[in-house]
Amino acid sequence: MRTADEIRNYQRNWAEARSPAQKEATKERKRLTYQARRDADPEAHRELHYQALLKFKFGLTPIEYEAMLIAQSGLCEICGGFDDDCFLSVDHDHDTLELRGLLCRTCNRGLGDLKGNLEGAKWYLMAHGGI
């Protein structure tokens, strides 16, 4: 029986021995498989993709996201609206990475456009009778 090191060396040598055409064929086969799975059930693919993104970017499991969503009654924490065609966005502080809540696309984009200068925006609105 081979040792783990022997298996890794075999795999490494096999991968290095493959021609660029073989590597490209494998890459294309993987792309087509991915595309076929996505096309077979777009909604399931979208859900899995979003779950992976939540875990990778924010460390959130689907259960934790659902708990946040339930706590907010499924609505945006700022405007009280919802996005019927997509998931609510996870709002977070870009400096500390602390999660703040779930927002609709419009509110999340608005906060992002302000780049954290909420006090300046508040002052501006108050100065012009907007608040």
For the segment(s) 42-127, the CATH number from 3.40.190.10, 3.40.1800.10, 3.30.1360.30, 3.90.110.10 is: 3.40.1800.10
Q: What are phi and psi of 51, to 5 degrees?
A: -65, -40
Q: What pLDDT is recorded for position 28?
A: 93
What residue ranges do the domains of the chain occupy? 4-40, 42-127
Q: What pLDDT is recorded for position 119?
A: 81
Angle at 21 between CA 16 and CA 24, to 5 degrees: 90
Percent of the chain with pLDDT over 90: 14
d(CA 78, CA 110): 11
The reported pTM is 0.60
Taking only the tens place, the pLDDT of each residue in 5-34 is 777 777 777 777 778 888 899 899 989 988
- Which segments of the chain have a pLDDT < 70? 1-2, 85, 116, 131
Q: Angle formed by the axes of helices 62-71 and 42-58, to 10°?
A: 90
d(CA 94, CA 115): 9
Q: What pLDDT is recorded for position 122?
A: 81
